[in-house]
Structure 1
Amino acid sequence: MSMPPPFPPQPEDTASASAEDAALLATRCPGCGSQLGFAAGTSSMRCLMCGYFAEIAHDPDASVDEHDYETWAANNAGRAVASLGGHVLRCEGCGATTESTAISTACQFCGGHLVGITPTEGVIPPEAVVPFALDQTAARAAFTKWVTSRFFGPRALKDVDAEESLRGTYLPYWTFDARTTSEYEGQRGDDYTVKVDDDRTETRTRWSHRSGTVRRSFDDIVVPGSAQLTPKEARGAGSADLAKAQPYRAEYVAGFSTVRYDVDPPRGLETAKQVMAGVIRADVERAIGGDRQRISQIRTAYAAVMFKLVLMPFWIATYMYAGKQWQVVINASTGKVTGKHPVSAVKVALTVAGGLVLLVLALYLYSRTRT
């Protein structure tokens, strides 16, 4: 059985763990011994204490590889990621070990940065990462701007500070490529005008049968690889700018939590096909032509399906208000903010009342003009 490719080679300062434990990225500052973490918006790791910067060494020959879906499916039939275990991480700071399914996390004892190097057997490692562009300060500013712009939010909402719960998290996303061939059947509608009587015409439609084939090449259809965000939150936050993606290196995730995918490639592909279906339907409508279209059937065959796993950055803010927990998601690549917030019943009532007053006034003025 062939296995997914290993993580890309790491720099020479990578610490190797025992045979039973996963390797651990060296995250200690060579100057003061404090923690090194990826500095958002840069290409470096930075010491949290002395400010030392260590440029991330990039392999000029590194590339972002994709998996052939048919080959992967043949070799991994019946293997769900939920049935695969985690791996053991050893903290470079205090020496404690912890088992986790996450790619990166924090030591539960000293808060040190844990980054797994050796993947769990059967788990597809990330091929690419879109690094954090927004640091915590920028994320906090985006959160504050979002909160203060909620018109129907209670006035006290503007005093909410989510700094303590603001956490940087990489979430997994799948991208799919495919060549599609779609056979369709339907009807083309051409409008024409007929004179009904001396003063009136009527538009009617002449329908004719149509069938044919449309082809399309899809590249990088992005779908979530985790249920960490609800579908609505995922749509609202959007995905990161893939043009900024870099070949995966463990340094990029140091200091952030990184969630392992829980949406397997088959489920991801089904979601991607739904996205493709909308584009294919639009292609079919254009191929049928006319003023109107009726589509009775579309049969699509997929070829050369390729996929890869990309880590995308988000700041997730969780805050309490009126005894209830609320979550806001900040896309750390694009700056887009989405989330839920409490609604002030008083503001809603005043807005409705104001609308009714304006409606009554408009009706009154209109009646006066008619008299």
Structure 2
Amino acid sequence: MDNEKKQSFSEKKRSCINCGAELTYEPGTTEITCDYCGHQEKITTSKDGLEELELQPYLEKLGAHFHSEEISMIQCKNCGANQHIEENYKSLHCVYCTMPLLVEDIHKEEWILPGAVLPFQLDQKKSHQIFSKWVKGLWFAPNNLKKAALHPEYTKGLYLPYWTFDAQLFAHYSGERGDYYYVTVPYTTTVNGKTVTRTRTERRTRWTPASGQISGFVDDTLIKASNQRKNPIPHKITNWNLEKLQPFHSDFLAGFVTEKYTIPLQDGHLSSQQEARKIATVWAKRDIGGDTQRVHQLDMKLTEETFKHILLPVFISSYKYDGKTYNFFVNGQTGSIYGKRPYSFWKIFFLVLCILIIVGILFFFFNK
């Protein structure tokens, strides 16, 4: 590992050569920028592409909790989130629950060095624009929701940790192939008080034994590497395009919060095996063919397994309305949004009342 990678993240601050202020990553570019004088520097990533690490040495020789770099971390005492926050933040708040964080709680931990990062394509201003548009499009929201107390200082760009796994998959399977066929069957019904016999067409399935073998490459099985006890990242915004991953460089993290994984590599690997079995089952059904399939037994083997620790971008924030806190999340690459929202009791009440009135009027006219 080169000297730069051996440094801790707290030592990787980049200062502006003109004014000495800290340089931060400019979303959507490959540059770090000084917010004071506008000076920019190019981020130079490895020309060797994304680095895949051989899995078994990490699991067998180094252990499930082996890490390869030291990083400054601070844990929220309210929700338990473990996060790395740049030292230039004057006011520290948890990105998940917005509770204050104490600088005195910062401590050193080790982690497996990220192999790739998906840089932010949106800045904080754009994330607020997306949020405002989302609020305006909410049905049954209170009229004065637009005046909700937003907290821009709580809106943070967060890099989430994930594991990705690659492997060559080989499996033997046995099951059944189902082919549809149709038969005409009689049935009786009552018409005008009389019992009559009619026919209808029913679909049946003809099952035949099937077995065979499948093989292929399982690429970038994505496994979440952290658990949030409060305000977990919703699945609806996790639609990242992993083809845009960049070789890891610490400059991409400048100005953002980075969460450390809490699910160790060993557990992530077990989850990836479960996902690989689901993929193998889909392949086996495709190989069986027919109209429908059953897979009774699947003997799967994974070889040439590799993994990466990657970081993916999301904006997390909250707003207060009527004394309650509501969280929202914006995908830092695609801009997709998901959030919790309040509902207007009176809007819903009057809608239901209008529907009942319309139904009552229609009923009255049709029964005159």
TM normalised by structure 2 equals 0.78
Larger strand percent? 2
User: What is the letter of the counterpart of residue 212 of structure 1?
Assistant: G
Q: Does the 8 Å CA contact 2:65/2:264 hold for their aligned counterparts?
A: no
Structure 1 segment 1-371 matched on structure 2, within 5 A: 6=1, 10=4, 24-59=11-46, 61-77=47-63, 79=65, 87=71, 102-107=83-88, 123-160=111-148, 161-197=150-186, 199-200=198-199, 201-228=201-228, 233-356=233-356
Distance 1:101 1:226, change over 3 A: closer
User: What is the letter of the counterpart of residue 275 of structure 1?
Assistant: E
Distance 1:233 1:109, change over 3 A: closer
Distance 1:265 1:232 in 2: 20
- Stretches of structure 1 that go unaligned for 5 or more consecutive residues are 1-5, 90-99
Aligned to 1:267, the other structure's residue is in SS state helix
Q: Does the 8 Å CA contact 2:69/2:113 hold for their aligned counterparts?
A: no
User: What is the letter of the counterpart of residue 143 of structure 2?
Assistant: R
Q: Does the 8 Å CA contact 1:10/1:249 hold for their aligned counterparts?
A: no
Question: Which stretch shifts more, 309-318 or 297-306?
Answer: 297-306
Aligned to 1:3: none
Shift of 1:316: 0.9
Shift of 1:362: 6.7
Residue by residue over 1:279-312, the C-alpha shift from the partner in whole angstroms, topping out at 9 and shown as x without a partner, is 3322222222222323323332222221101111
Shift of 1:187: 2.1
Aligned to 1:290, the other structure's residue is in SS state coil
Distance 1:175 1:86, change over 3 A: same
Distance 1:130 1:78, change over 3 A: closer
Aligned to 1:133, the other structure's residue is in SS state coil
Distance 1:32 1:78, change over 3 A: closer
User: What is the letter of the counterpart of residue 221 of structure 1?
Assistant: T
User: What is the letter of the counterpart of residue 237 of structure 2?
Assistant: A
Aligned to 1:106, the other structure's residue is in SS state coil
User: What is the letter of the counterpart of residue 156 of structure 1?
Assistant: N
TM normalised by structure 1 equals 0.78
Distance 1:357 1:303 in 2: 67
Amino-acid identity (%) = 29
Distance 1:228 1:240 in 2: 19
- Please tell me the root mean square deviation across aligned C-alpha atoms, in Å: 3.4
- Stretches of structure 2 that go unaligned for 5 or more consecutive residues are 74-80, 93-102, 187-196
Aligned length: 335
Shift of 1:135: 1.0
Shift of 1:103: 4.9
Aligned to 2:273, the other structure's residue is in SS state helix
